[in-house]
């Protein structure tokens, strides 16, 4: 519909017709930040703002919540936290020059309801800074509450999907992360309203298939709306989440103009061709009204190559581990080095992420430990160049056995004999490691992997003890693939360590399914929700399926005791998959007779972890 003569939109449309679309010089700041470190984050943002100003950028786009870090979770319930973020944004506005800066933060807004009865008054926002002022803020509208996201719990949704911003003689739309993904959301509303370019701050976590899907979606979005898209993503680790960066600039025809590297900081500036001006149906907020003079195009940076699957996974594991250690104030780590694959892989990952000098591996041979295991542990330490210590457990085994034998029943139905317990090295090793970590200020790394954590093969109070578990979301078969890769992963692990049978295989014997079978069943059940019938239709033995699914559900309490680890799958244990610990339901298969067979366990884990739901 044409604008009425003399109206605000008619004036803007006339101004737009005087331009041929032209180009907008866009800068992206793909930066790592830390949750809650508002002052340090503001200093980093100020540095990027100065760089963008020096480059003559018309606009600088920074990631979602770049000022506060993502996710903010319940920090927004503290009024002081929100006030500090607003003060920091005002401070950044004071130093803003001719380059318009779009920076993610939180802002206080009038209280409003969304999908329930609770009023919320904090928004995830993109504040727009220019020439010493905060010129306005776009408030995120679509708040995800799936997977690792829980924004709708504390955040108020924005209400103006078609908001526009006049940056000189260019009209832009701003959308934040989830706003891009509905297919008919704020980007579409802004394009219909007259936006010539979409600016999108993001905090998009990594998982194994995310980058390719993200690129397909953003290309479709740009083509569908006929406008270019600037997609600035966070980079770095935060607790169990890791952000890969991989920021994008997409042309109006869906062409990839720029791809930032994965898992490292990046700055880029490029001139983006704009479509012809459109009739405006929404009055833009004026950021400034000073068109920049015509100038030769800047040299276009070459898009960085997309890494292969295994390179990306290795980058995610290293980034997530390094940032968890360093952001929590540690400089060095400690782990038990048994001579097995998981411990060796964890040590190799830590050495890559932190440097060999920051890693201490501790071998703790018991009275019955095979000498080959100690030799294998020593071989791993030497191959990786990490610190290595040996703590023989025989004195501790003897002392703890003596202490436990002296237990005396004081009252109740217990007898002294019932309180006696054998001392086993597996229960003593965590005590040695936690004592050493506390004494020397080291972060203890747990070495368990996703496969064994899934089925309860990770022993509580032993394999799961630590402050961080880098391999928590890594299936065993993935570890073997990474170890075999010539250019990524822990290539220095001695081959004889990789080829030895695992402790789970030794414990469970011939009844233990292959890791190839286990990992597929775990993935199909946990990630896709497939049941017994679905997996049987894929050709898997029904008894094996029932075994594995029973183990997965029975092991929830074990997983709750495990520390955080780097998430690399679309649906990982933890915040992505929230299951009750006390849970009598088990997957079933309805046979031809109509009898229901509950999932049960065949390969033994020991009486203390029997999977019969009625026990």
Integer Cα distance of 450 and 559 in angstroms: 10
Provide the pLDDT for residue 160: 94
Domain identity same for 335 and 434: yes
Q: What secondary structure letter does DSSP report for 577?
A: B
Statement to judge: residues 476 and 378 lie in one domain: yes
Residue 414 CB-half CA count within 13 A:
11
Domain region containing 504: 330-609
> What's the helix, strand, coil split of the chain in %, to 5?
35, 20, 45
Q: Are strands 164-167 and 133-139 parallel, antiparallel or unpaired?
A: unpaired
Q: What radius of gyration do the chain's Cα atoms show?
A: 28
Give pLDDT tens digits for 402-435: 777 777 666 666 666 666 666 777 888 888 999 9
Pull the structure tokens for residue 307. 């890494």
Residue 375 falls within a domain, yes or no? yes
Domain match, 210 and 358 both: no
Residues serving a catalytic function are 64, 140, 177
Does 392 share its domain with 269? no
Give the integer Cα–Cα distance in Å for 173 and 285. 10
> Is residue 319 in some structural domain?
no
Inter-helix orientation angle 309-327/341-354, to 10°: 70
Low-confidence ranges of the chain (pLDDT < 50): 1-19, 592-596, 601-615
Q: 56 and 125: one domain? A: yes
**Nearest Cα to Cα of residue 335 among 373, 370, 377, 394:** 377
Q: Token pair of 249, please? A: 């600039």
Q: What is the pLDDT of residue 18?
A: 38
* Tokens linked to 343: 């411990």
Rounded distance between C-alpha atoms, residue 316 and residue 327, angstroms: 16
Q: Is residue 318 part of a domain?
A: no
CA distance 360 to 437: 10
Residues 280 and 391 in one domain: no
Please spell the DSSP secondary structure of 495-517, one letter per residue. Answer: HHHHHSPPHHHHHHGGGSPPHHH
3-class SS at 555? coil
Domain closes at, from 291, 313, 340: 291
Residue 165: predicted pLDDT: 97
Tokens of 190: 């802004």
Whether residues 401 and 481 share a domain: the answer is yes
Distances 507 to 378, 388, 502, 503, 512 between C-alpha atoms, Å: 24, 27, 9, 6, 9
> Are 245 and 366 contained in the same domain?
no
Asked if residue 300 belongs to a domain, the reply is no
C-alpha to C-alpha distances, 151 to 144, 146, 255, 349, 398, nearest whole angstrom: 6, 9, 32, 32, 53
Q: Are residues 284 and 366 in the same domain?
A: no
Q: How many CB atoms lie within 10 A of CB 405?
A: 14
Q: Are residues 395 and 514 in the same domain?
A: yes
Whether 550 and 605 share a structural domain: yes
Asked whether residue 122 falls in the same domain as residue 228, the answer is yes
Q: What region, left, alpha or beta, does residue 430 occupy, with left being phi > 0 and alpha being psi -120 to 50 degrees?
A: alpha
Q: Is residue 297 part of a domain?
A: no
Q: Which residue among 291, 318, 338 closes a domain?
A: 291
| Torsion (CA) 58, 84, 203, 248 in degrees, nearest 10 | 10
Give the start-end residues of each E strand in 31-76: 59-61
Tokens 């044409």 belong to: 2
Q: How many residues does the chain have?
A: 615
Sign of CA dihedral 531, 536, 538, 540: positive
CATH at residue 600: 3.40.50.620
Q: Whose CA is closest to 549, among 504, 591, 579, 506?
A: 579
What is the per-residue pLDDT for 409?
Answer: 62
The span from the CA of 364 to the CA of 344, in Å, is 14
Q: Give me the pLDDT at residue 273, please.
A: 94
Last residue of a domain, one of 227, 262, 291: 291
**Domain annotation covers residue 420:** yes
Token pair in block for residue 128: 């727009």
Residue 321 belongs to some domain of the structure: no
What's 227's domain CATH number?
3.60.110.10
DSSP-assigned states of every residue in 269-280:
EEEEE-PPP---
Show the tokens assigned to 487: 């250019």
Q: Which residues of 41-56 are buried (b: 16+ CB within 10 A; e: fewer)?
A: bbebbbebbebbbebe
Q: What is the DSSP letter of 205?
A: B
From 244, 271, 243, select the one nearest 257 (Cα to Cα): 271
pLDDT of 267-295, one tens digit each? 999 999 999 999 999 999 999 999 877 88
Those residues whose C-beta lies under 8 Å from the C-beta of residue 317, and which sit 6 or more positions away, are 349, 353, 470, 471, 474, 566, 568
Q: Which two tokens stand for residue 563?
A: 């520390």
Return all residues near 560 (Cβ < 8 A) that are at least 6 apart: 581
pLDDT confidence of residue 275: 95
Residue 399 vs residues 404, 418, 420, 439: alpha-carbon distances, Å: 9, 19, 13, 21
Q: What is the tally of structural domains in the chain?
A: 2
Residue 92 lies in a domain: yes
């Amino acid at each position: 519909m044409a604008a009425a003569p003399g109206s605000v939109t008619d004036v803007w449309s006339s101004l737009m017709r005087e331009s041929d679309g032209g180009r907008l010089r866009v800068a992206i700041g793909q930066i790592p930040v830390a949750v809650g470190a508002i002052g340090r984050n503001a200093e980093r943002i100020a540095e990027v703002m100065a760089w963008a100003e020096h480059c003559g950028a018309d606009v600088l786009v920074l990631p979602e919540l770049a000022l506060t870090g993502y996710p903010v979770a319940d920090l927004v319930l503290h009024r002081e936290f929100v006030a500090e973020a607003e003060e920091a944004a005002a401070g950044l506005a004071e130093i803003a020059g001719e380059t318009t800066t779009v920076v993610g933060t939180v802002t206080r807004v009038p209280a409003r309801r969304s999908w329930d009865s609770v009023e919320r008054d904090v928004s995830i926002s993109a504040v727009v800074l220019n020439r010493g002022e905060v010129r306005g803020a776009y408030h995120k509208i679509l708040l995800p509450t799936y997977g690792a996201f829980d924004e709708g719990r504390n955040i108020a949704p924005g209400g103006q999907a078609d908001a526009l911003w006049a940056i000189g003689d260019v009209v832009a739309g701003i959308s934040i992360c989830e706003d891009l993904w509905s297919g008919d959301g704020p980007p579409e509303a802004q394009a219909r309203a007259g936006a010539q370019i979409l600016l999108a701050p993001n905090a998009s976590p990594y998982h194994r298939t995310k980058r390719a899907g993200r690129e397909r979606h953003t290309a479709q979005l740009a083509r569908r709306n006929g406008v270019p898209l600037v997609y600035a993503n966070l980079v770095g680790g935060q607790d169990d989440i890791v952000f890969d960066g991989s920021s994008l600039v997409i042309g109006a025809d869906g062409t990839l103009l720029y791809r930032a590297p994965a898992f490292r900081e990046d700055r880029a500036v490029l001139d983006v061709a704009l479509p012809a001006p459109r009739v405006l149906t929404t009055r833009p907020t004026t950021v400034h009204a000073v068109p920049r003079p015509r100038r030769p195009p800047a040299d276009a940076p070459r898009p960085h190559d997309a890494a292969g699957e295994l390179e990306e996974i290795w980058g995610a594991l290293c980034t997530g581990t390094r940032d968890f250690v360093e952001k929590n104030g540690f400089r060095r780590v400690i782990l038990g080095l048994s001579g097995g694959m998981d411990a060796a892989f964890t040590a190799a990952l830590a050495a890559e992420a932190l440097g060999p000098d920051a890693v201490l591996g501790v071998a703790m041979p018991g009275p019955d430990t095979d000498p080959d295991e100690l030799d294998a542990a020593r071989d791993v330490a030497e191959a990786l160049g990490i610190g290595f210590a040996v703590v023989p457990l025989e004195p501790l085994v003897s002392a703890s056995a003596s202490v436990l034998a002296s237990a005396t029943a004081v009252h109740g139905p217990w007898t002294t004999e019932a309180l006696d317990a054998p001392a086993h090295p597996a229960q003593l090793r965590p005590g040695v490691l936690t004592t050493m970590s506390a004494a020397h200020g080291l972060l203890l790394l747990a070495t368990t992997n996703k496969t064994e954590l899934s089925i309860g093969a990770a022993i509580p109070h032993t394999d799961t003890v630590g402050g961080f578990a880098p391999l928590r979301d890594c299936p065993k078969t993935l570890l073997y693939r990474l170890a075999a890769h010539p250019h990524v992963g822990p290539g220095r692990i001695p081959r004889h360590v990789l080829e030895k049978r695992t402790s789970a295989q030794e414990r469970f014997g011939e009844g233990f399914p292959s890791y190839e079978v286990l990992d597929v069943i775990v993935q199909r059940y946990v990630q896709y929700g497939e049941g017994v019938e679905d997996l049987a239709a894929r050709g898997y033995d029904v008894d094996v399926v029932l075994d594995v699914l029973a183990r997965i559900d029975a092991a929830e309490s074990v997983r709750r005791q495990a520390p955080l680890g780097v998430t690399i799958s679309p649906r990982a244990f933890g915040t992505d998959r929230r299951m009750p610990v006390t849970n009598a339901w088990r997957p079933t298969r309805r046979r031809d007779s109509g009898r229901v067979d509950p999932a049960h366990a065949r390969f033994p884990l020991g009486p203390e972890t029997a999977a019969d739901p009625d026990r």
